Amino acid sequence: MKVKNVDRKILKLLQEDSRRPFRKIATDLKISEPTLYNRVKKLQEELVIEGFTTIINPDAVGFPYLAFIMLTVEPAKEEEIINKLMNLPEIMELHILFGEKNILLKIRSQDIDSIRNFINNGLRSMEGILKTETYLSMKTEKETHMIPI
């Protein structure tokens, strides 16, 4: 699907506040509410909009620790390892990389011991993971889900 200019404007406004009333968005964009509804529905069907969610402050719910874990895995085991990792609730993001380190994980945790246990009892127990390298974030200066449309 080619994203039209009006769709980009809709997406920008929804990114800023996904709870913004359709009536207000339609008025701001000078389109009818049914047109807006149909455009958003189409964007959802085409998976341009993958969902609507609530962004939670991790510190407020007891997950102040943020770690990035780089994995070096055997190439022959990469797909199998990725499938196992996809099922682990601790992992917020999983990225496949070029280079010696093939996988980057982002996890949030309640404490340092939980991160250590995740690495020692979870990751290092998986056959095919050759090396882990963990980076603990001291402070997050910027974190956003906004695409610069």
Per-residue pLDDT of the chain (149 residues; tens, 9 = 90+): 789 999 999 999 999 999 999 999 999 999 999 999 999 999 999 999 999 999 999 999 999 999 999 999 999 999 999 999 999 999 999 999 999 899 999 999 999 999 999 999 999 999 999 999 999 999 999 999 899 99
d(CA 107, CA 20): 30
The pTM assigned to this predicted structure is 0.87
**70, 101, 107: which is closest to 89 by C-alpha?**
107
How far is the C-alpha of 130 from the C-alpha of 124, rounded, in Å? 8
Write down the residue that tokens 């341009």 correspond to: 48
Asked if 105 contacts 94 with a C-beta cutoff of 8 angstroms, the reply is yes
Q: Give every CB contact of residue 94 below 8 A, 6+ residues apart in sequence.
A: 82, 85, 86, 103, 104, 105, 106
